Each structure stands twice: as structure tokens, then as C-alpha cells.
Amino acid sequence: MIDAAELARPDIAPADGRLGVVCVGLGAVATTFIAGVELIRRGMAEPVGSLTQMGTIRLGKRTEGRSPLIRDFVPLAGLDDLVFGAWDPFEDDAYVSAVKAGVLDAARHLEPIADQLRQIEPMPAAFDPAYVKKLDGPNVKADRSKRGMLESIRQDLADFRERHGCDRLVMVWCASTEVYVEPGPQHADIGAFEAAIDADDPAITPSMLYAYAALLDGVPFANGAPNLTVDTPALRRLASDAGVPICGKDFKTGQTMVKTVLAPMFKARMLGMEGWYSTNILGNRDGEVLDDPESFKTKEGSKLGVLDTILQPDVYPELYGDLHHVVRINYYPPRGDNKEGWDNIDFFGWLGYPMQLKVDLLCRDSILAAPLALDLALLLDLAQRSGMSGIQEWLSFYFKAPQVAPGLYAEHDLFIQQTKLKNTLRWMMGEDQITHLGVEYYADDYLAED
């Protein structure tokens, strides 16, 4: 394995021209993302929740006082240079879809930008209700064969690029969670994958066709849902070979974000745990899709996975060897996009005395997800201009089930993920890594300078 320090920092091409952001799915997350960018561009809102827009990055020693905004430090595409497109099986344009999603206040945040939103009409989707059982819409590809859908997505990308004069594109999966699909021989390599497309094999899902089309056309791909999608040997290899960055899976927004902050706390203090029960009520279309057991199975996998790697029950059997971790999502229409997530944690301390922690998170799902979609679009584009290809583990900060190289365990702790992200940006720009060692501040000659 190469020593990271030996890896030359990349040459980063400038972010000149227009960046097309094509969203698969034009539902609650995508419309909240697109409308939010438009409002921010017009100075009508702040990009709250976006690390790339509001976050700073410390450079050098604490005494140097260098903490620029991330967007001033790395050459990101500007918000004015973004152009949006989307696919969806429903015909609603971005304005109608945003009104129906009910996330943003129509009078305050949709009417002033209605003209802009109405221009974003969804391209016909590569959609098959077999993979999203609760939905069916009319705006779908005419040729329903997998080969036909793939070719049509590629044509859409070419047309979009041409129509909007885009210099670069990124694709973000903001569509529904597909039913659970096991990785199989069809996903082992590109030959098998291609043959499976021609055979209309059920193991090839629509999301895989979008991701494959993106990779074939050099378009970075982020997966905001837990579907297998681009996390297969065939597509991982293609992404590396073709020089295209990829990342996923499943935006880490509400309950899991909190879980990956709290779990490291228990572990850091060597407090034991008997159980962690998480339940949610959610009333948007995503909640309806997840009401189907097969889509929920996909989601459950990404929500359940985080505790094991943080708590390491194999290393600490006396603390976490008998942990009951349960996750539930219940579709409850009155709440719309405003999810309520409860967590009950049964933990124990010194001499095994039991204690409890209860968390009740009343959040707005798409309000939390939209800035992640923005950051991912901008950072994937940066990665591509930096010649970084394949899995972008440094973007695991944004995901519940981060994609990592085969054989590596995923890092779930939110603050380790944040450190990884910022250190990657420092490395890209030729700045020193921040290790938090800090002994130098206590060396005699350093103290003497005071």
C-alpha cells in the first residue's frame, strides 16, 4: 500500500463555466435543494446546513489564526454557475412538485421563484414499479428494456449538456429507495453487467442504469439513497478506470446523524449498552415508499449498520456484546415531511448500573438533506477536477452507509468523518494535516515567545 504522505497533491483544474446538476428524482429533497439554491442566489436566504458555503477550515497552527471559508479555500463551482435538471416518473415540474411536497412555505419561498422552478420539467424516468412498489407514474421512458433505458439516459445527459451549455455535469440520486437487491454475479464485472442489461435481468435496477450512464459519460455520481446502485464491483472498477468520482450511500440527515454523534460518546467513556431502540414517524412520499417492506429492508440495512462499527462488540464484548438495536419507520401522513424520530438508549456504567437516554428529534427531513445534496454536487465536481476517481471516502461525512474500498470498514463517527473531509481538502491544497497532537505548543521555546 502507498504511504498517503507520498501521494502527490492533485493539480486542480479551475471551476470555469457551468456545472449541470442532474437529480434523479424531483421530489421533496430535490425540489428543496433546487429552490434553496435559487433563493440563496437571489440573496433571499442563507445556505444554512451547507459546510461548503458556511463552514471554515483551520489551516496551520492554532496560533496562526488562519481559518478561511471552505469556499474561499478550495476552487468550488459558484452557485450562480449551477444549472439544474431532473428525471421523475411524475410529470410535475419543480414548482408543482415542491408545492405538493409541502416542505417550503409557498408564499414566502416558492412564489417568488415560481418562474424559475416551472422551467425545470422532469425528463422521462428510467422507472420500473417492480423496484419502487408504492409508486407508478406516466412520465417514463418509452423503451422499457434495460438497454433502451440506459441509452435514453445517456441521450438525456448529452442533450442536457448541449441545451444548457454545461462544461461539466454531476448526478445526484434523490429518487425513491428501491427494493433490496443482493450483489450478485451480474454485478461482478462489466462483462457480466452488460450481459445482464441485455438479458433484462432483474438484478439490474433502474438506479444502476443511471449510475452506469453517468460513469460511461464521465459524470460523477452521488447516491443519496441506500440502494446498491454504484456500490458493486463492476461499477466501482469502472469509476476508478474511467477517472470518475463516486460516493454514497443514503444521506445522513436526522436520526442516524444523531446516532453517529452519541454512540462515539458512550464508547469514548467505555459505557456499556444493552439496547438502542429507534423509531420514526414520517408522512411524505419517502415515508410511503418505505412503508413497503422491501424498500424498508434496503433502508434498514443502512440505518442498522452504524452502531456495530462504532461500538465494536467483538473488541468490547462485555460492553456491547449483547446489544439489541432496533430501527422502525412508520408511515404517518399527518406529519408530512416533518419527521419525528425517537431514540431510547439503555446503557450502563460503573459496576453495571443501568441508565437511559431518550432523544426526541423533531426535524424536517428535506431541510436537512438539501444542503447535503448541494455540498455533494460541489465536492464531487471538485474531486473530478482534481483527478480523483472511484470511491470518495472523504465524503462519508454525508452518508449513513459510506462507500469504502472493499475490505475496509466504514468510519461512521461524524467528527472523524468531518476531520477526514477537511484533511482531504488540506491535502488537495498543499496544507499541513491537522493531527491535534499539539505538544509543540508546550515546548519551552514556544512558551517563551509569549
Ligand X SMILES: NC(=O)c1ccc[n+]([C@@H]2O[C@H](COP(=O)([O-])OP(=O)(O)OC[C@H]3O[C@@H](n4cnc5c(N)ncnc54)[C@H](O)[C@@H]3O)[C@@H](O)[C@H]2O)c1
Residue given cell 414499479 in the structure block: 129
Q: How many residues touch ligand X (CB under 6 A)?
A: 37
Q: Any contact of residue 120 with ligand X (CB under 6 A)?
A: no
Closest by CA to 369, choosing from 393, 394, 337, 410, is: 337
Q: Any contact of residue 98 with ligand X (CB under 6 A)?
A: no
Closest by CA to 50, choosing from 75, 68, 69, 65, is: 69
Q: Is the preceding omega at residue 249 within 30 degrees of 0, hence cis?
A: yes
- How far is Cα 272 from Cα 275, in angstroms, rounded to an integer? 10
CB-wise, 365 or 431, nearer to ligand X? 365
Binding mask 49-88 for ligand X (x = CB under 6 A): --------------------------------------xx
Q: Any contact of residue 296 with ligand X (CB under 6 A)?
A: no
Binding mask 169-188 for ligand X (x = CB under 6 A): -----xxxx-----------
Q: Look at the chain and count its residues.
A: 450
The residue within the footprint of ligand X, chosen from 36, 124, 224, 402 (CB under 6 A), is 224
CB-wise, 153 or 319, nearer to ligand X? 153
Residues 118, 124, 129, 135, Cα dihedral to 10°: 10
Q: Any contact of residue 266 with ligand X (CB under 6 A)?
A: no
- How far is Cα 95 from Cα 121, in angstroms, rounded to an integer? 9
CB-wise, 293 or 317, nearer to ligand X? 293
Q: Any contact of residue 251 with ligand X (CB under 6 A)?
A: yes
CB-wise, 90 or 394, nearer to ligand X? 90
**Using alpha carbons only, how large is the chain's radius of gyration in Å?**
22
With beta carbons less than 8 A apart as the criterion, state whether 98 and 117 touch: yes
CB-wise, 166 or 369, nearer to ligand X? 369
Q: Where are the beta strands (DSSP E) in 12-143?
A: 18-24, 82-87
Q: Any contact of residue 27 with ligand X (CB under 6 A)?
A: yes
Nearest position to ligand X, beta carbon:
27
- Could you tell me the three cell numbers for 173? 440520486
Give min distance, CB of 24 to ligand X, in A: 5
Q: Any contact of residue 149 with ligand X (CB under 6 A)?
A: no
The CA-CA-CA angle for residues 329, 26, 361, to 5°, reads 30
Q: Any contact of residue 375 with ligand X (CB under 6 A)?
A: no
Q: Any contact of residue 156 with ligand X (CB under 6 A)?
A: no
DSSP string covering 71-131: HHHS-PPPGGGEEEEEE-SS---HHHHHHHHT-S-IIIIIGGGHHHHHT--PBPB---TTT
Q: Any contact of residue 127 with ligand X (CB under 6 A)?
A: yes
Give min distance, CB of 444 to ligand X, in A: 51
Give min distance, CB of 426 to ligand X, in A: 28
- How far is Cα 353 from Cα 296, in angstroms, rounded to an integer? 35
- How far is Cα 33 from Cα 230, in angstroms, rounded to an integer? 22
The residue within the footprint of ligand X, chosen from 15, 19, 28, 222 (CB under 6 A), is 28
Q: Any contact of residue 338 with ligand X (CB under 6 A)?
A: no
CB-wise, 139 or 312, nearer to ligand X? 139
